[in-house]
């Protein structure tokens, strides 16, 4: 399992630039996922062989400067609750502001590692100016320049040193698939699990966020056996306003990284909102199987929208990854819950499937022959061989004479053809073009 590192600080100190620098180091190489720039607040990073997840809290704060203070304080509190380490970014140009002092006050009480990063330090004079940040009472600081990246190395050296050891994600003793139930607070996650288990294993009330931690339940009924993880989107009620996106996302990060299939519950009466989308792209980016359950369908006025219209609307927002099962359920009346489980099991099986190289070539090369990649600058791309890689999630490689000329639309075409011929519903797949 990965550690979670939260980047906090007031607006416009350069948190996002710093965040982008952290995740690019890895994303450019590993996560070359097309078209998924929607969720810029979460990414994976790696330094000195240690991998960790990074959350930029800045992306979740909405509103103008004057209403920021309460928001930021809340986010820092959440970061303190949920993250394993915190990087507090300040701006040398503006010096210490009252809001910085406010954040520092919260961070001084924390037992978790807190690293202070003084940003925009790109000259000797600025190095001098940075000295005043000792006054925040957080001890030594690191001077960085987010734009050029100078100083980031020293900061990351220290970060990986202070990150706590995490248990390995794979429990050798427990080969059972892990299904996690994720979604925004109050979408009905605990009710769904109670309905399945047939006992009130979780306390369910109508107050958003009464479940505090991800809880595992071994589930064995109707011939299915797996671990069910209830992340229930969750927070301490006293601390958080109803719709603070940051929390559900932060809460879901760990559960998603640690599961095989994510069952994303959305509230039919609210629609597929920003927060649901963030969680969806989080699961997609982590290459997990995904099933979407539209819960509370019994509460929707049926004359306003049919399931077909509702489903079409969701799929529109999922593009380009639209091959995902969407089911309409009610945790209250137990309608279609077993169907939802069957779907999750199917997605789990699809994610594990292996296509033999001979069969894959026989099929795909015919398609490529009839529809080859478009020529570029008068040069023709030839693909002569392809195979599925022996990885935990489905990845396919196509060997070509000029891989750099194969663009995204053609990769999508290949992906669609794979999906037409083999069932990968609910499973993200990667397509690589390599030199033969």
List the chain domain ranges: 3-162, 178-352, 357-435
Q: Is the pLDDT of residue 138 over 90?
A: yes
pTM above 0.85, yes or no: no
Tokens 């020529």 belong to residue? 375
Between helix 98-108 and helix 65-82 the angle, nearest 10°, is 20
> Which two tokens mark 371?
């529809």
Confidence of residue 400 (pLDDT cuts 50, 70, 90): very high
Quick check: 6 and 83 in contact, CB under 8 A? yes
More confident residue, 289 or 30: 289
Q: Is the pLDDT of residue 418 over 80?
A: yes
- Strands 42-47, 3-8: parallel, antiparallel or unpaired by DSSP? unpaired
More confident residue, 31 or 208: 208
**Closest to 17 (Cα-Cα) out of 89, 97, 86, 83:** 89
Quick check: 44 and 23 in contact, CB under 8 A? yes
Q: Is the pLDDT of residue 387 over 90?
A: yes
Q: Is the pLDDT of residue 34 over 70?
A: no
Quick check: 84 and 4 in contact, CB under 8 A? yes
Confidence of residue 248 (pLDDT cuts 50, 70, 90): low
Q: Is the pLDDT of residue 170 over 80?
A: no
Q: Helix or strand or coil: residue 52?
A: strand
Q: Helix or strand or coil: residue 103?
A: helix
Phi and psi at residue 155, in whole multiples of 5°? -60, -45
H helices present in 258-356, as ranges: 274-285, 307-318, 337-352
Quick check: 386 and 373 in contact, CB under 8 A? no
What pLDDT score does 253 carry? 80
Same fold, 3-162 and 178-352: yes
H helices present in 114-244, as ranges: 124-129, 152-162, 189-197
Quick check: 283 and 264 in contact, CB under 8 A? yes
Maximal CA-CA distance, the chain: 70
CATH of domain 3-162: 3.40.50.300
What pLDDT score does 174 carry? 55
Quick check: 386 and 398 in contact, CB under 8 A? yes
Binding site for GTP: which residues? 9-16, 56-60, 119-122, 183-190, 230-234, 295-298
Quick check: 136 and 104 in contact, CB under 8 A? yes
Radius of gyration of the chain (CA): 24
Report d(CA 189, CA 262) in Å as an integer: 12
Q: Is the pLDDT of residue 214 over 60?
A: no
Q: Selecting from 2.60.40.1180, 3.40.190.170, 3.40.50.300, 1.10.10.10, what CATH number does the domain 178-352 have?
A: 3.40.50.300
What pLDDT score does 61 carry? 57
Quick check: 117 and 38 in contact, CB under 8 A? no
Tokens 């590692």 belong to residue? 113
Q: Which long-range contacts (CB under 8 A, 24 or more apart) does 168-176 make?
A: 168/1, 169/1, 169/257, 169/258, 174/227, 176/218, 176/225, 176/226, 176/227
Q: What is the pLDDT of residues 88-123, one digit of tens each?
A: 999 999 999 988 998 999 999 989 999 999 999 988
Binding site: which residues? 9-16, 56-60, 119-122, 183-190, 230-234, 295-298
Q: Selecting from 3.30.300.20, 3.30.230.70, 1.10.10.10, 3.40.50.720, what CATH number does the domain 357-435 have?
A: 3.30.300.20
Q: Helix or strand or coil: residue 12?
A: coil
**Closest to 350 (Cα-Cα) out of 432, 254, 279, 418:** 418
More confident residue, 177 or 263: 263
Q: Is the pLDDT of residue 353 over 90?
A: yes
What pLDDT score does 246 carry? 64
* Mean pLDDT of the 67-73 span: 68
What pLDDT score does 232 carry? 54
Quick check: 194 and 204 in contact, CB under 8 A? yes
- Strands 395-400, 430-435: parallel, antiparallel or unpaired by DSSP? parallel
- How far CA 112 is from CA of 76, 80, 193, in Å, comes to 13, 8, 33
Q: Provide the percentage of residues in the chain whose pLDDT is more than 70.
A: 81
Q: Is the pLDDT of residue 399 over 50?
A: yes
> Which two tokens mark 277?
């989308």
Confidence of residue 267 (pLDDT cuts 50, 70, 90): very high
* Mean pLDDT of the 54-79 span: 68
């Amino acid at each position: 399992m990965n550690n979670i590192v939260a980047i906090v600080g007031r607006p416009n100190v350069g948190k996002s630039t710093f965040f982008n620098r952290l995740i690019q180091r890895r994303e450019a190489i590993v996560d070359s996922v097309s078209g998924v720039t929607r969720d810029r607040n979460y990414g994976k990073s790696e330094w000195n062989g240690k991998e960790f997840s990074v959350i930029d809290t800045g992306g979740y704060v909405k509103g103008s400067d004057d209403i920021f203070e309460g928001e930021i304080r809340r986010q820092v509190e959440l970061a303190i609750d949920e993250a394993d380490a915190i990087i507090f970014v300040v701006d040398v140009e503006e010096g210490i502001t009252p809001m910085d002092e406010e954040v520092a006050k919260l961070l001084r009480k924390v037992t978790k590692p807190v690293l202070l990063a003084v940003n925009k330090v790109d000259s000797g004079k600025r190095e001098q100016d940075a000295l005043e940040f000792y006054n925040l009472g957080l001890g030594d600081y690191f001077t960085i320049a987010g734009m050029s990246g100078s100083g980031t190395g020293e900061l990351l050296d220290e970060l990986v040193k202070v990150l706590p050891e995490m248990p390995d994600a794979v429990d050798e003793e427990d080969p059972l698939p892990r299904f996690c139930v994720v979604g925004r607070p109050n979408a009905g996650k605990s009710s769904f699990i109670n309905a399945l288990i047939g006992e009130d294993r979780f306390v369910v009330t109508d107050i958003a966020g009464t479940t505090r931690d991800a809880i595992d339940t071994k589930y064995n009924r109707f011939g299915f056996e797996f671990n069910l993880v209830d992340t229930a989107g969750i927070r301490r009620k006293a601390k958080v306003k109803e719709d603070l996106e940051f929390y559900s996302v932060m809460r879901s990060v760990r559960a998603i990284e640690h599961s095989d299939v994510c069952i994303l519950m959305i509230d039919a009466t609210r629609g597929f909102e920003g927060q649901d989308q963030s969680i969806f792209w989080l699961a997609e980016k982590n290459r997990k199987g995904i099933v979407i359950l539209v819960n509370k369908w019994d509460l929707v006025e049926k004359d306003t929208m049919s399931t077909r219209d509702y489903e079409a609307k969701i799929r529109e927002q999922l593009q380009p990854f639209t091959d995902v099962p969407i089911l309409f359920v009610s945790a209250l009346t137990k309608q279609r819950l077993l169907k939802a489980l069957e779907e999750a099991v199917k997605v789990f099986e699809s994610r594990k499937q292996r296509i033999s190289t001979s069969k894959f070539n026989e099929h795909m090369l015919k398609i490529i022959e009839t529809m080859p990649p478009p020529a570029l600058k008068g040069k023709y791309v030839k693909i002569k061989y392809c195979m599925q890689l022996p990885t935990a999630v489905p990845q396919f490689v196509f060997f070509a004479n000029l891989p750099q000329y194969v663009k995204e639309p053609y990769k999508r075409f290949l992906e669609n053809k794979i999906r037409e011929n083999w069932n990968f519903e609910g499973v993200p797949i990667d397509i690589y073009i390599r030199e033969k």
